[in-house]
Structure 1
């Protein structure tokens, strides 16, 4: 069986997918890391779309997800999700991270999107340990895809070789192939 999951080493802002997931901060106003890179690549239209979301619902809570247009990205939409800030693992961080992945997948499916690219949510400035975050990402996405037809393709986008090897190893352990 061919897996619906691939590991991609490179820049998430260059992928031609239906949806790019942004590891956002609660304000949705851009920041550092992947959040800043996505906002810079998408241009001012993304910030304006995020401002509208903020006016409608306020900040985005950890684990939640919202969708906007993609601006100048080669994607159709951006799903902004907020990961947990790592506090040693005793403050429901794993559950919140699972929710961030699951809510992003639900939002993509509800909008009929077929392909989605995830960064390593929560592993930058929020400090989630990379190996633990990757395990949650792979398990949550894999389990979701066994029950749902959409999205048809999910990419874990890694900006360095070490993280890419980590995701590939976890997918191999689950018996899933990676094409990238």
Structure 2
């Protein structure tokens, strides 16, 4: 039985312990999945994000994660993580892996089991889909994260096919 599932759909419809937000360092909303999550969660999410201490405007550095209440979403928490901007941030593969690991560790620390996760850094941040899928699936399958039920919510059929191919390849290697 898979502990990783793939859905082509809207992450804001998920009913889980935590919805993962592909945030920016300021955590005050933005475009893509970040904007969609903030719109669906309502003003309570923005208020919760503002309570996270900022250093020079940064509430969540790239590769790290922060947790807040989920507002109007059908989840206990939103876990905000910041992936790298491909071609801009140094060591993007390491930063993307760190973003997933930080997210999953924060989920475990807060007794979360079920997670809805987007394709981090694959929108405006420009991460190549195949490479991102390899990192996302690889980290998700690490032994440390066995207790988690991870569902990737993927925006369209093309991204879903790439994640499905990577998941099948990773399961074949296991």
- TM-score category (smaller protein): over 0.9
Instruction: Number of aligned residue pairs: give it.
Output: 171
After superposition, what is the alpha-carbon deviation per residue over 1:101-124, rounded to whole angstroms, capped at 9, x for unaligned? 000000000111110011010011
After superposition, what is the alpha-carbon deviation per residue over 1:39-90, rounded to whole angstroms, capped at 9, x for unaligned? 000000000000000358942110010000000001110000000011178x
Q: Which is worse superposed, 21-30 or 47-56?
A: 47-56
Q: Report the counterpart of residue 156 of structure 2 in structure 1.
A: 160
1:132 aligns with 2:128: no
Tell me how far 1:174 sits from its aligned partner: 1.5
TM-score normalised by L of structure 1: 0.90
4+ long deviations beyond 2 Å: 54-59, 146-150
> Which blocks of at least 5 consecutive residues in structure 1 are unaligned?
none
> Which blocks of at least 5 consecutive residues in structure 2 are unaligned?
none
RMSD (CA atoms)? 1.7
Q: Is the 8 A contact 1:112 1:150 kept in 2?
A: no
Tell me how far 1:149 sits from its aligned partner: 4.3
Distance 2:70 2:97 in 1: 24
Distance 1:157 1:142 in 2: 17
Q: Report the counterpart of residue 18 of structure 1 in structure 2.
A: 17
Tell me how far 1:131 sits from its aligned partner: 1.2
Equivalences for residues 82-161 of structure 1 within 5 A: 82-87=82-87, 91-143=90-142, 146-151=143-148, 153-161=149-157
Distance 1:65 1:126 in 2: 17
Distance 1:113 1:150 in 2: 9
